[in-house]
Structure 1
Amino acid sequence: MSAPEGSIRDMLAANLKRARARRGLSLSELSRRSRIGKATLSQLESGTGNPTIETVFSLSRALEMPISGLLDTRPADGPTVVRAADVEVLSGDAVDLRPLRRFELGEGGFEVYDQQVREGARQNSLGHVGTEHTIVQAGRLAVEVDGERIELGPGDYVGFDASRPHAYTALGGPVRSVLLLHYRAGVRPADGEAHPVLGPHA
């Protein structure tokens, strides 16, 4: 069954090819940087692969660009309403993300996601560009950043440099939360030459 027009799969295929071409990277070099196999990258660029959270975050880290630069989440002019049922889910080992909006703030930008963490699994990230902000709405969430463990309940917030290795684990049941990714000036989806100033990447 083919993906619908405008699906995450289609948007990632087009944006990944464009980003790789801007940087003059071969599939082999991008494979080395992202730790994703060449065959998988080829499938993603052709629109036949099945992207996961882990894949997209690895590409974001390797290409030094925001997640929205790969998923093409561009806000419309004027008021924007996003219905949960209309947003395609990007799933990983333990997390389901629904991209809701990207907006500019001064010289930087934010991406807003509805984030659900499933019970019984751990979502690991080697790191990616941006500063990560999570606000728990329901459930209890364990967040580990460079080995430091923090437990959060409803209404609690944590923020950290997303280039550092981190992990999310739901405690005692599923977790509903809001994820905000903040990008500093110069880190924009359309800017193929920009590099974040967040320190080294894994």
Structure 2
Amino acid sequence: MLIRMDVAQVVGDTVRRLRSSAGISLADLAAACGVGKTTLHGIEQGQGNPTLSTLWALATALRVPLGELLEPRAAPVEVVRATDERPVVTGDAVTARLLHRISTRGAVEVYDIDIAEADQDSDAHLDGVEECLVLVNGRVTTGPADAPVELGPGDSVRFGGARPHVYRGHRGENRAVLLMFYPES
């Protein structure tokens, strides 16, 4: 199976929403993707089991990133635990687990960070700035100052950086990858 059945409804709802908002008929999208109209209808109903190739064809035809088909719109603060069920797609050599999807136009900065056993209060960034932290090792508490979350290895969090936020390392070595998303200016 190339797509988990629990993701099929998300894919179907998203494809139908994107197709409708773009004003594309079911027949036109099916032709653009090289799939049958009946097959596409099944996908939109959440009854399909599209291959990775079909998902890429749909994403290309709809002019969206693949991840947009796999995950519903994210909440303002989204924590993903290493053990959480997430959308997974499998190809011949690659299995990909979608952690977060962040829509942005602008710049993305990627940092390898160490977080000491101390508190760091960070002021709000400009509107539209988002942060995504993936914890590689250790334990940290991070997120909006009014609702921080504790993360363990493999957990991740995404939140808007336009409000005060905190970083606190716990005992030992705490390493993470931090992505900073800046809107187009």
TM-score (ref. length: structure 2): 0.49
- Larger Rg over CA atoms: 2
TM-score (ref. length: structure 1): 0.45
